[in-house]
Amino acid sequence: MPQSLAHIALVVRDYDEAIAWFTEKLGFTLVADEYQAEQDKRWVLVAPAGAPEGAATLLLARASKPEQAAFIGNQAGGRVFLFLKTDDFRRDHESMRARGVRFVREPKEAPYGTVAVFEDLYGNLWDLVQFA
């Protein structure tokens, strides 16, 4: 039976600031933004530009209690948490820097490809990677 990841939840402080950051800074596409009255929350999905139909999306999940809020920006304990794959590292690295994305580790060549580490608006660490 084939399986795949559908969504990856990212705890955020505010829906609108997270949507703005992911769409404006990373160029992601807003896939869904639907209010769910019964739970008083929104179902917000974003995806990298050019992601194929059915690819995993990022679920922007607003923290609804203090225990959840404590993990905003530190969902992986300071480790790289998410990996953004690109087909043109230089293009995307330059574009992201021009839009104000903060890189905390500069590009390097590794056996698996070219990689640099950036942080999202809350401080979660991501790899921008072009696999060899």
| Residues whose CB is less than 8 angstroms from the CB of residue 76 and which lie 6 or more positions away in sequence, other chains included | 124, 125
pTM: 0.95
% residues pLDDT > 90 (the chain): 98
The model's pLDDT over 4-29, given as tens digits with 9 standing for 90+, comes to 999 999 999 999 999 999 999 999 99
Amino acid 1: pLDDT: 84
The model's pLDDT over 42-94, given as tens digits with 9 standing for 90+, comes to 999 999 999 999 999 999 999 999 999 999 999 999 999 999 999 999 999 99
